[in-house]
Structure 1
């Protein structure tokens, strides 16, 4: 059996001019659930997750929870600008709800989780997630 892949001809491909970016308007911008950019890494026996959340009030707009074997960070970035602004505007900042789930190796108690916010970065530390997970080398024998 022969399978033929059809590609569009070059004339059928739409080329987008990067200088003509769409302008965001209040009517076109709809809140959407998005993920928060994160760095997740191991530091000793602890898991550390750093989330870039500039311009957010962490006391009111961010929730950090442990649900079984998951660390869940959710919140909302609110648009505080005047909606009656004249003319067009271009915005690269996304507004609306965000949610990020980080899987954990084992279930942890909420007391093992600490969170701090400084300079637009939320740092969440889950203590002891990697305790007892030191790799052990197994010798391979041959017959």
Structure 2
């Protein structure tokens, strides 16, 4: 029962994250934000036999404020951007820098060896390199036939 409830919670959080990633983040001028949590923007591409995920995390100390984890075939990046100084008396005309919790969860191919995943951080970009298993890397894509309607 507890495992089923945990899976439902995971599914719900994945759905919420997917909804936040849609371009309709603020439909029709209405605020549609999740308070205190934003989506980390990423680039994901193949470099030979490796999946590369580059996450935009400027102004974050990776030693203190980033947790990178893999569980049940999902790569999860959790980060927190903190305000280091009090700014109430600064007299802001505009205050657009965001602070708070950031997160992103990405699916990984089946058979990924978690111990072979590496990560580095440089100039505000977290780069995660995931070696693709040979069984997935050499596989040709399956073509799907398209039926034409009458």
Q: TM-score normalized by structure 2?
A: 0.64
Pick one of 91, 95, 120 that aligns with 1:91: 95
Give the whole-Å Cα distance in 2 for the aligned partners of 1:137 and 1:61.
43
* Dislocated runs of 4+, deviation >6 Å: none
The answer as to whether partners of 1:34 and 1:97 remain within 8 angstroms in 2 is yes
Aligned residues: 110
User: Gaps (5+ residues) in structure 1?
Assistant: 1-15, 17-29, 139-143
Partner of 2:26: none
Larger radius of gyration: 1
Partner of 1:126: 130
Partner of 2:60: 56
Give the whole-Å Cα distance in 2 for the aligned partners of 1:133 and 1:94.
42
- Superposition deviation, residue 79 in structure 1: 1.1
Tell me the C-alpha RMSD between the 2 structures. Answer: 2.5
- Superposition deviation, residue 112 in structure 1: 1.7
Partner of 1:78: 82
User: Gaps (5+ residues) in structure 2?
Assistant: 1-28, 145-150
The answer as to whether partners of 1:77 and 1:97 remain within 8 angstroms in 2 is yes
- Superposition deviation, residue 87 in structure 1: 2.3
Give the whole-Å Cα distance in 2 for the aligned partners of 1:62 and 1:46.
22
1:137/1:58 CA distance change after superposition, 3 Å: same
Q: Does 1:42 align with 2:46?
A: yes
Give the whole-Å Cα distance in 2 for the aligned partners of 1:84 and 1:137.
59
Q: TM-score normalized by structure 1?
A: 0.67
Question: Higher helix fraction: Structure 1 or Structure 2?
Answer: 2
1:136/1:36 CA distance change after superposition, 3 Å: closer
Partner of 1:141: none
- Superposition deviation, residue 35 in structure 1: 0.7
With a CA cutoff of 8 Å and minimum separation of 6, indicate the structure with the bigger relative contact order.
Answer: 1
